[in-house]
Structure 1
Amino acid sequence: MPSSSVTRTEPANVSEVQTTSQTQRTLQVEADGGSRGNPGVAGYGALVRDPETGQILATDAQPLGRASNNVAEYSGLIAGLTMARQIDPEARVHALMDSKLVVEQMSGRWKIKHEDMRRLAAQARSIIPAGQVTYEWIPREKNKDADQLSNEAMDAGAAGTQWDAGASKVPVSAPGEGAQKAPAAEKATEPSSGSSSSAGSATHTGRLHHVEIWVEDLAQARRTLGWLFEELGYVLSGEWSEGASYQGAGEYLVIERGPDVSAGAHDRLRPGLNHLAFRAGTRADVDRLAQAAQAVGFTLLFAEQHPFAGGRNHYAAYLEAPNGFEVELVADPA
């Protein structure tokens, strides 16, 4: 977080300069989602496959709380595209789904009328450049692995637990590039939720699982932080008397006001968590969100340095919620 008197310079983004290999790899994403009740207990499943060998390189599945079937389908696609990008950001991706709606909307042949679907589609399109992704509808019987994963996620949601990658009936057969093999002593421990692994095989490390934010005024936090999370593409996936959860493409965010929360507003200047930073799209997207956020109660921090409070090459908006919690909205490199 920048101070009012010192401008922080962000490190150069070395990923902006990349070389493209002469032979572009192809990855196959298979995704599915379901809702028992529509809306009801929901979950998604996704995998990345090497189309040449048929080997599964990565898997992911997550319960979504109470959500619609369409939200679950889109969440599966987002998870699949995210895994493909992690394996090889330069690869061509062919996405297979048994949801005619998602395939036709993502292919641009059908209009997206529902606001929630528009946000999810925009999130999916932001993961991999459009020219690298193609979509194909397949019947459900040909999407059995992703269907199995989504059902495992829904089973976990119904039981109030998280999906167990190690117990999945759809194991990873060949870990994707960048995956690290778990040490033998750790094989018996619970696998991290959302990791792409079978028992004792490779897992993705360093992936955020969830963030839980304790607040004094839940209703106010939902009107501000909850609003912003949904604007950024997170989907309301659960709500109860003391909190609400928002599902992303793997990680999720929780706002909670429980009996153990101490009185008083959050102080971002005290030791502990200072702020959360989110990728927010283009500079125009950052500007739009910053303006809209102020209309619902956020305060723009470091206004005299905005939008370069983080340095002349770092376009971002720093916002403080009414409860004192800070978020940063970062624009993609120009």
Structure 2
Amino acid sequence: MSSVSTISLLLLSLLWAVISVDAQASFQRVPLPILRSGPHSFAFNSIEKAFYTGVSGGTILKYTPEKGFVIFARITESSNSLLCYGLQEPISSERCGRPAGIAFNENTGDLYVADALLGLHVVSPAGGLAVKIADGVNGNPFESLYGLDVDPTTGVVYFTSLSSRFSAYQMHLLLDLEDATGKLYKYDPSTKAVTVLMEGLGGSAGCTVSSDGSFVLVSQFTKNNIQRYWIKGPKAGSSEDFSISPSQLRPSSIRRIGSTGNFWVAAVHKVTNQTAVVKLNPNGEVLQRVRVPFQFSFLSEVNEFNGGLYFGTLTTRIVQIFKL
């Protein structure tokens, strides 16, 4: 088959895979408690049909259909104070905390949290005050932690820093200066050690581990691509380009879809700033696109649970759920 024919078939398959979304009819909107904003990332409890999300003021909320939102955990003792409720981000982050990426260890029930300014934390299954695991590595403090995932086969935690110079609230500077100071880290609960796996990443906003634990993916917002870092096998310790998605898309997060082997990528179009949501298979090939006909402010994550896509952002006061 000629290269032209191959490209034509690929384009045709992508057209068939697009789902146009009616923003009014397809989204369920779940308002956050008053004075809380920015549901950044999501973790899920299938037994209780609950979802968890980190919000402004250093708080992690738990939502169930029966009880709505309740406070599950706090990053600092101050997180429950009126000061942390009232101060606007990012001013409140240094004192109160700002949970970014979160994920459960499904075997232990521990919830791991990458706090943007205050480091790596863990919360017990009972909730309450988070325990700080690390605030730096090799004498260097963490800067702008963002994405986090837990290897479903080993319990090892992988997390990223967006940049060593800019925060997520300075995304325009990160883009304008083509910043490439992000990092990928690994935390091994068995040894309590934190190591740097990758450096020189461009806006490393999200990371996720494959369902078989063979590799971890890192999205690069400023470089318009996704990197695959091999954990196991003959390529272990090396990295390569993963996604064949168009370079016009800036991926802000990537999340594993259960044990399917596939991934959801949240991205922003470089030219239009339109939200783009793409499903990829383990080879980086596009399986499906969800076209959302409106803009999310600082789209931080798209994650799937119980037949719905959960949209995370840095600034809004609602969780938006698209029913698949």
Q: TM-score range by the shorter chain?
A: under 0.3
For the pair shown, which has the larger CA radius of gyration, 1 or 2?
1
Q: Higher strand share goes to which structure? A: 2
Q: Higher helix share goes to which structure? A: 1
